[in-house]
């Protein structure tokens, strides 16, 4: 068995981190694998540093016929190959390889987004290719929204994303951001770690901050990340006169060191596949307030491991945050239960369950 992973992203976000965890765990188990990814992508750099074989290709937008042909040739080089496509364009590449180059290699598709499959003819055919043996959904919610578009729903399986608990072994408040941004010692710090992208709905984050500040003015909000929405969010903060209370930290590589500084983790996403940054907060003993978007309720149990609110409801979100500011017992209980919950969402668990699906596909196909 040889796993041929395909990832078409140049950048490094949550999906690429999950691929890195998976291929690293598979390497420990001696699994033969190769990663097909654009030349000089962040993932290709990671793989080369980790001693994992890479097959590079030129990045095209959308349909990449040369990559599809290259994939067919790659598959012919191995006995019992499996294709694992980790994003939508990777899935397209695998599909084109089958219909244009006659590549009959069994395919495994990762599905991380919580919106339905597009209804156009190409998408319908792509998701119902006879070569697809598994569609691995990162939450039950994604399985639910994907299911209506899939003729053979037996291919749909749930494999939760996981985190690396070892990253958080030395987890304690080092006051890095408090000192950097001169945040007063008495201020409560509330923050989120995410790309500044539309689906993260930072406008609701800002509205929630405005509600919290009415009752707790000694609060500072940290927006940890970067992305295309930064300018729009900054303008919205200025319109609401909150520029002294909300701070953009930019992209940070020291998340295990800075996350423990947060008193509360606030996620206001409109859509979310699973929300693994919440698991990072759990590991750092930071209590969580989040929306009921996508797969979030599968990792946050309301009143047990965190507090949930409806999507785009800043008043409800703010009330939940205020409860945690004012109720230390509740806060401690949530943290205690969350620490237990993360044991179900580790990188090792994700790799083990993925490997089980690989083996099943091999036994069914070859």
* Choices 1.10.3660.10, 3.20.20.80, 3.40.50.2000, 3.20.20.70: CATH for 2-162+346-365: 3.40.50.2000
Bridge partner residues of 103 (DSSP): none
Rounded to 5°, the CA angle 207-219-263 comes to 100
Tokens of 222: 């940290």
The secondary structure of 232-299 as a DSSP string is HHHHHHHHTT-TTTEEEEE--S-HHHHGGG-SEEEE--SS-S--HHHHHHHHTT--EEEE--TTGGGT
Confidence grade of residue 13 (pLDDT, cut at 50, 70, 90)? confident
Q: How far apart are the first and last CA of the chain?
A: 10
- Decide if pLDDT at 62 tops 80: no
For the full predicted model, state whether its pTM sits above 0.85.
Answer: yes
Answer whether 159's CB lies under 8 Å from 137's CB: yes
Residues of the chain with pLDDT > 70: what percent? 99
CA distance 99 to 75: 15
Domain edges within the chain: 2-162+346-365, 165-344
Domains 2-162+346-365 and 165-344 share a fold: yes
The strand ranges marked E within 119-253 are: 132-137, 156-158, 188-193, 219-224, 246-250
Angle at 357 between CA 351 and CA 363, to 5 degrees: 135
pLDDT score of 169: 85
**What single DSSP character describes residue 344?**
G
Of 353, 359, 364, 366, the C-alpha closest to 3 is 359
Q: How many CB atoms lie within 10 A of CB 343?
A: 10
Residue 110's Cβ-side half-sphere holds a number of Cα atoms within 13 Å equal to 26
Average of per-residue pLDDT across 131-142:
96
Q: Say yes or no to pLDDT of 204 above 90.
A: yes
CATH of domain 165-344: 3.40.50.2000
Judge contact between 32 and 5, C-beta under 8 A. Answer: no
DSSP E strands in 161-218: the ranges are 188-193
The mean-pLDDT minimum among 23-37, 167-181, 247-261, 349-363 falls in: 167-181
User: What pLDDT score does 220 carry?
Assistant: 97
- In whole angstroms, what is the distance from residue 145 CA to residue 111 CA? 11
264-323: pLDDT as tens digits? 999 999 999 899 999 999 999 999 999 999 999 999 999 999 999 999 999 999 999 999
Q: How crowded is the C-beta side of 28, counted as CA atoms within 13 Å?
A: 10
Rg (CA), the chain: 21
Q: DSSP states of 58-84 as a string?
A: ---SS--HHHHHHHHHHHHTSSSEEEE
Query: How much is the average pLDDT of 211-227?
Result: 96
pLDDT above 90 for 12: no
Do the beta carbons of residue 300 and residue 274 sit within 8 Å? no
Q: What whole-number percentage of the chain has pLDDT above 90?
A: 89
Model confidence at 170, pLDDT cuts 50, 70, 90, reads: confident
CA distance 221 to 183: 10
CA dist 324 and 147 (Å) reads 37
What is the C-alpha separation between 282 and 275, in angstroms, rounded?
12
């Amino acid at each position: 068995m040889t796993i041929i992973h395909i990832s078409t992203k140049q950048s490094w976000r949550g999906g690429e981190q999950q691929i890195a965890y998976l291929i690293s765990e598979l390497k420990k188990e001696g699994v033969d694998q190769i990663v097909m990814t654009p030349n000089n992508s962040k993932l290709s750099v990671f793989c080369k540093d980790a001693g994992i074989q890479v097959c590079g290709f030129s990045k095209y937008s959308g349909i990449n016929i040369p990559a599809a042909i290259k994939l067919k040739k790659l598959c012919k080089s191995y006995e019992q190959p499996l294709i694992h496509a980790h994003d939508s364009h990777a899935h397209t590449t695998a599909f084109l390889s089958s219909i244009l180059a006659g590549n009959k290699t069994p395919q495994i598709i990762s599905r991380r987004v919580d919106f339905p499959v597009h209804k156009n003819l190409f998408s319908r055919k792509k998701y119902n290719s006879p070569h697809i043996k598994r569609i691995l959904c990162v939450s039950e919610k994604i399985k639910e929204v994907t299911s209506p578009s899939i003729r053979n729903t037996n291919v749909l399986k749930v494999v939760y994303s996981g985190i690396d608990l070892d990253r958080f072994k030395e987890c304690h408040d080092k006051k890095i951001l408090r000192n950097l941004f001169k945040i007063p010692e008495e201020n409560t710090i509330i923050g989120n770690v995410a790309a500044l992208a539309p689906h993260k709905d930072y406008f609701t984050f800002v509205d929630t901050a405005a509600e919290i500040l009415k009752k707790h003015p000694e609060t500072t909000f940290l927006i940890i990340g970067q992305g295309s929405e930064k300018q729009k969010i900054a303008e919205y903060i200025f319109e609401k006169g909150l520029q002294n209370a909300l701070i953009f930290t930019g992209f940070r590589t020291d998340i295990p060191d800075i996350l423990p500084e947060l008193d509360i983790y606030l996620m206001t996403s409109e859509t979310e596949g699973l929300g693994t940054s919440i698991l990072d907060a759990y590991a750092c003993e930071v209590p969580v307030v989040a929306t009921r978007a996508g797969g979030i309720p599968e990792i946050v149990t309301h009143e047990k491991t965190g507090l949930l609110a409806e999507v785009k409801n800043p008043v409800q979100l703010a009330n939940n945050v205020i409860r945690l500011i004012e109720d230390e017992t509740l806060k401690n209980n949530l943290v205690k239960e969350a620490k237990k919950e993360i044991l179900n969402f580790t990188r090792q668990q994700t790799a083990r369950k993925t490997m089980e699906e690989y083996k099943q596909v091999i036994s069914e196909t070859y």
